[in-house]
Amino acid sequence: MSEAERSTGGLTRRSFLATTALGASAVAAGSLTACASQVDESTRDELAQTGEEGEKYFQSCMGNCSSCGCPFWVHVREGKIVNITKPDLTLPDGSKNPYQEICVKGYTNIERMYSDHRIKYPMRRVEGTKRGEGEWERISWDEAVAEITAKWNELQQKYGRESIAFIGGSGNSNNSVFYTGRLAALMGATSCSSTYDMTGMMSNWTRMGFVQLTNSQNEYRDMLNSDNIFIWGANPTESMIVDYHLVAEAKEKGAKIIVIDPIFTTAASKADMFVPIRPGTDGLLAAGMAQIAMRDGFMDKKNLQTNTVGPFLVKESDGLYLRLSDLGGAEAGSEDDRILVYEGSNAIPFDEAQDPEVEGAFEVNGIAVKPAAQVLIDRINEWDLETISEYTDIPVATIEELAAIYTSGLSMIFTGFGLDHYANGQTAYEGMFALLDITGQECKHGAGITVADFSAPTAVGNLNLPTADLTDVMPGPTVYSSHFPQLVETGECGDIKADIKGLYVYNGNPIGNLPERQRWVSAFEAMELVVVADIFMSESATYADYVLPVAFLFERSDMIAGQSLFLKLTEKAVEPSFEAKPDFDIVTLLGKAMGFEDRFTLTLDEYLEGCVSNDVATAAGVTWERLKEEHAVFSYPEEPVVVGVNEFPLTATGRLEFYHEGILPMANAGQEFDQRKESCWFWEPPLEAWHENEKFSQYPLIFISERCKFKTHTMFNHVSSLQELDPEPFVKLSPKDAEARGIAEGDTVRLFNDRGYVVLKAVINNGCRPGVIVIDHGWEKDAFIEGHYSDLTSIETWPRYEGSNYFDCLCEMEKVQ
């Protein structure tokens, strides 16, 4: 393929421009996925220009970005979708919904729907061809369902119920697709749970408990109450496109914006201060700032005493809290066996204390103890500012300046998932939490930490419904994607034993989106049956034995919960293209054929109605009738949620927990686990992405990715108009790294390490930190000249959290001659 062809997904530039938005001539002859659109472009253009509004249906993008689903009106004329416009959702006070805009990707959903990349029919890989060769034959739904379920029965009889694994993804969060979990549970199949973003989310949950409305401490709107906003490990102008205006508005109101990132992002270009940091060292920077704050008298004792576990006494011997039972005052484990704090030379139950100590070391009945806050402070003080400066590569004076700004007013940390993508990302999040707890920048409006994920409607739209009635059913095991290849390779993962022989992939594109792609390709190859249900011919679908066509968002009604202030009920605007069906219908067909007729009796509407027949919805005033009438119902508190103000930690102690007594790893994958070390913040270098790592002399470049405005993961990859704006992948590198390797702008380069390689173009960029290279996220294999960027990354995890550690990756680069 020539370069021009490659950059436009296989079409020459001329034919590409001529066929943008699926002109019939773009159709690859004979391919069953490539299809003539049901409406040709000129007809749709004509329809779009008639000036009439057409029929309007309430719909939503489901980009899995920002606030996860900007609401739309889609306009239909003569059965064709011709336009997308923005509904004006308002908050109860009459103000505009702050979480809805339509970005450039959003408007291309029409083109996406009519794209030649849709899967049109159920298809079976042609017998005698290999997976991935792309030879398909069209079959009927009856054949597909009969053949797939016959094979499932055979495999389950031979290898056990758990030998079929269901792998979901982050795809589009909608209640229809979640229904797939019902089939998996009934079949006793193994569920593979994807681990992207997991370290970040688990760090939050471990600290706050599974609070209902937010995964972070403050909802985004609360930034408008802040004096300082630290954008720290997030790239919101690309990844939270429709939410970034809140940062801009806060700035207009006078807030100072500080960006801490290894690369000079667009947000950095708009900020008051940019601090380039060495990757993987954020926890240390936070510790340095906390140290300075304490030195300068900004320790907030009251906050530690009341909102956190700060005063709880920790026994030096075993790291457990000192309780009344340790002193013979209560029966161990009884309700009265309360945790003790130190006040006026005595250890007393925490709920009787007025002004407990948060610092110091004490002896109680011969037992050496320290308040948990002191344990944290000791860990922080193990690091001196010079060492912190050396490791973070930030001058001491800058760390001092950051601390001074942070303590100068109400400060918010706006973080994201950049820090999550290192194996020990919790050291960064927990470092930030320590800074918040010590300085008291929390539990009040304008101060705290915010990350995309405020999820009121998730509870309202009961996502547990698909399995809630299955109390008599024994579901299969759940394994995290970070250990799924291990399970396939060895049949074991901790306590789980399963001989996985069949995969059902839905709502995700694991090959290419999960780290260490070759392990995933091998896992797919080891299967006797791979089924992929998708709207599009994704990279994973190309490795399937059967593909099942899923209806596009506008071709079904659905409920969208999560990352929004509104619960939304979308309306089917047009009939599904070709033979596509909503996941709900697909799962119902498969479930009935597996013998679960009496468990799949609902229609999609009945199921969606059931989703809002729950107490949380009733309390929020959300009813099916209202949803039918209003489409989107505000189901969130009017004031931004701030944990510690209008929502409270749901931890065992009822407080924010920076110390964890007896913490366990997220999953037992047979790993060693140092419970004492993990009980409280500490810092160690990333597993791989570190200049003192033994691989560094061979592979001295840290490979990270960034979000791109024109893609959400791989979901908008085949939209021609976006391809025109963003035609091919390239690696960004600093002038210094380019010079050292004789690389010039536009050269073709090869990145490689022990795991794999990728060949693509190089772009030299001054905003790139020397030693760090960047490829934007979301490309699939056909986009690269050779290889795949996910062949570089590692699946290895930290013992505590199951993560996907895309950025914890070293490689080298050379010019391709």
Ligand X SMILES: Nc1nc2c(c(=O)[nH]1)N[C@H]1C(S)=C(S)[C@@H](COP(=O)(O)OP(=O)(O)OC[C@H]3O[C@@H](n4cnc5c(=O)[nH]c(N)nc54)[C@H](O)[C@@H]3O)O[C@H]1N2
Binding site for ligand X (CB under 6 A): 64-66, 169-172, 174, 177, 196-197, 232-235, 238-239, 260-263, 265, 277, 279-280, 282, 416-419, 421, 506-510, 513, 533-536, 538, 550, 583, 704-709, 711-715, 777-778, 789-790, 793, 806-807
Tell me how far apart the alpha carbons of residues 530 and 543 are, in angstroms, rounded to a whole number. Answer: 8
Residue 707 interacts with, from ligand X, ligand SF4, Mo ion, none (CB under 5-8 Å by kind): ligand X
Closer to ligand SF4 at the Cβ: 70 or 165? 70
CB of 356 to ligand X, least distance (A): 35
Q: What residues have CB less than 8 Å from 742, skipping those under 6 apart?
A: 815
Radius of gyration of the chain (CA): 27
Site string for Mo ion, 214-243 (x = CB under 5 A): ------------------------------
Coil, helix or strand for 113? Answer: helix
Nearer to ligand X, 233 or 562 (CB): 233
Cβ(181)–Cβ(470) below 8 Å? no
Q: How many residues bind Mo ion (CB under 5 A)?
A: 2
Q: CB of residue 523 vs Mo ion: minimum separation in angstroms?
A: 21
196 binds Mo ion (CB under 5 A): yes
Q: Which is nearer to ligand X, 411 or 513 (CB)?
A: 513
Measured between alpha carbons, how far is 426 from 808 in angstroms, rounded to an integer?
13
Say whether residue 685 binds ligand SF4 (CB under 6 A).
no
Q: How many CB atoms lie within 10 A of CB 170?
A: 18
Q: Does 554 bind Mo ion (CB under 5 A)?
A: no
Residue 790's closest CA among 540, 559, 616? 540
Phi, psi torsion values for 56, nearest 5 degrees:
-110, 135
Q: Binding to ligand SF4 by residue 87, rule CB under 6 A?
A: no
**Partner from ligand X, Mo ion, ligand SF4, none binding residue 777, C-beta < 5-8 Å depending on class:** ligand X
Phi, psi of 508 (to 5 degrees): -160, 165
Residue 365: Cβ within 10 Å count = 10
Q: How far apart are CA 435 and CA 448, in angstroms?
A: 10
Quickly list DSSP for 716-745: TTT-HHHHHHS-S-EEEE-HHHHHHTT--T
List, in sequence order, every residue forming a beta bridge with 367; answer none if it has no partner.
Answer: 364
Dist. CA 481–CA 750, nearest whole Å: 28
Our CB check for ligand SF4 shows the closer of 19 and 239 to be 239
Both tokens assigned to 420:
């999550």
Total chain residues near ligand SF4 (CB under 6 A): 13
Pick what 431 binds: Mo ion, ligand X, ligand SF4, none; C-beta below 5 to 8 Å, kind-dependent. none
Residue whose token pair is 């001659």:
817
Which one of the spans 196-204, 378-386, 462-470, 529-537 is the region binding Mo ion (CB under 5 A)?
Answer: 196-204
Q: Which secondary structure element, helix H or strand E, spans residue 19, and what is its range? A: helix 13-19
CB nearer Mo ion, residue 68 or residue 633: 68
Q: In whole angstroms, what is the distance from residue 155 CA to residue 153 CA?
A: 6
Q: Which range touches Mo ion (CB under 5 A), out of 194-202, 300-308, 369-377, 540-548?
A: 194-202
Residue 121 partner contact from ligand SF4, ligand X, Mo ion, none using kind-dependent CB cut-offs of 5 to 8 Å: none
- Span of 101-109, 561-569, 611-619, 651-659 interacting with ligand SF4 by CB under 6 A: 101-109
Kindly give the pairing relationship between strand 190-193 and strand 55-60: unpaired
Please say which residue, 406 or 716, places its beta carbon nearer to ligand SF4: 716
Contact status: 806 vs Mo ion (CB under 5 A):
no
- Token couple for 23: 């002109």
Name which of ligand SF4, Mo ion, ligand X, none residue 533 binds, using a CB cut-off of 5 to 8 Å depending on partner kind: ligand X
The answer to whether 197 contacts Mo ion (rule: CB under 5 A) is: yes
Can residue 105 be called a binding residue for ligand SF4 (CB under 6 A)? yes
First to last CA, the chain: 18
| Closer residue to ligand X (CB): 339 or 768 | 768
Binding-site member from 9, 23, 63, 276 for ligand SF4 (CB under 6 A): 63
Distance separating alpha carbons of residues 701 and 709, to the nearest angstrom: 25
Inter-residue contact 154 to 166 (CB < 8 Å): no
Among 155, 242, 369, 375, binds ligand SF4 (CB under 6 A): 242
d(CA 103, CA 671): 43
Among 35, 47, 102, 167, binds ligand SF4 (CB under 6 A): 102
Any contact of residue 106 with ligand SF4 (CB under 6 A)? yes
**249 vs 466: CA distance, rounded Å:** 40
Task: Give the residue closest to ligand SF4 by C-beta.
Answer: 106
Give contact residues for Mo ion (rule: CB under 5 A). Answer: 196-197
Give contact residues for ligand SF4 (rule: CB under 6 A). Answer: 61, 63, 65-66, 69-70, 102-103, 105-106, 241-242, 712
